[in-house]
Structure 1
Amino acid sequence: MDDFKAFVKTIPAIREEVANGHYTWQQLYEFYVLYGEDDPMWDTYKKSHMDLTGMLDILKNIDLDALSKSFEGLQKILNLVSTFVVKEQPKTQNRQWYDD
């Protein structure tokens, strides 16, 4: 039972399923005991939930210097490409009032 409680704490979306009446705790516990926590049934809950700590872990592992250098490189490439692109001026008719 303690293993199931610890497992449920890692996936808060399961609590929502019980609160919404889709499952009971008994049903989920029996499923956990029969099939274990590696069953594909749990994958939808594991993948659909990204908690704040998970997002912070991702942000913590981002190398901001490398990201900044990548953006600088991309900006240089775009500037270079823009020099090759010919910008056409809109064709205006130089008609005067007396051309009518």
Structure 2
Amino acid sequence: MQIDDFKAFVKTIPAIREEVVKGRYTWQQLYEFYVLYGEDDKMWEPYKHNRTDLTGLLDILKNVDLDALSKSFEGLQKILDLVSTFVVKEQPKSQNRQWYDD
């Protein structure tokens, strides 16, 4: 039964998989550590910290009001359009020349 618990635990912290891929640990080593010390050991804290940061970011994204964000972008686009009407666009002289200007 502990192997199923370990698998569920590892799924909650994807950074652990990277440690195995990099060759720092084997799955056997991590499983033995899990069995001996449990999931609350200090060894897992750096991995849990990374998960918390990602979870916090996802929570922030979930709470974004997409309608308000869209309206903000529309307002920004209007401002940019207005500013662009005041900007004088000079064309390079080579494009303004006619065949008889040479």
1:62 maps to which of 52, 61, 64: 64
Q: CA deviation at 1:44?
A: 8.5
Name the counterpart of 1:37.
44
Name the counterpart of 1:89.
91
Q: 1:43 to 1:84 in 2, by over 3 A?
A: farther
Consecutive unaligned residues of structure 2, counting only runs of 5 or more, are: none
2:81 maps to which of 79, 82, 85: 79
Between Structure 1 and Structure 2, which shows a larger proportion of helix residues?
2
- The answer to whether the Cα contact below 8 Å between 1:7 and 1:37 also exists between their aligned partners in 2 is no
C-alpha separation in 2, matches of 1:28 and 1:68: 46
Name the counterpart of 1:7.
9
Aligned sequence identity (%): 64
- The answer to whether the Cα contact below 8 Å between 2:13 and 2:48 also exists between their aligned partners in 1 is no
Number of residues of Structure 1 aligned to a counterpart in Structure 2 = 88
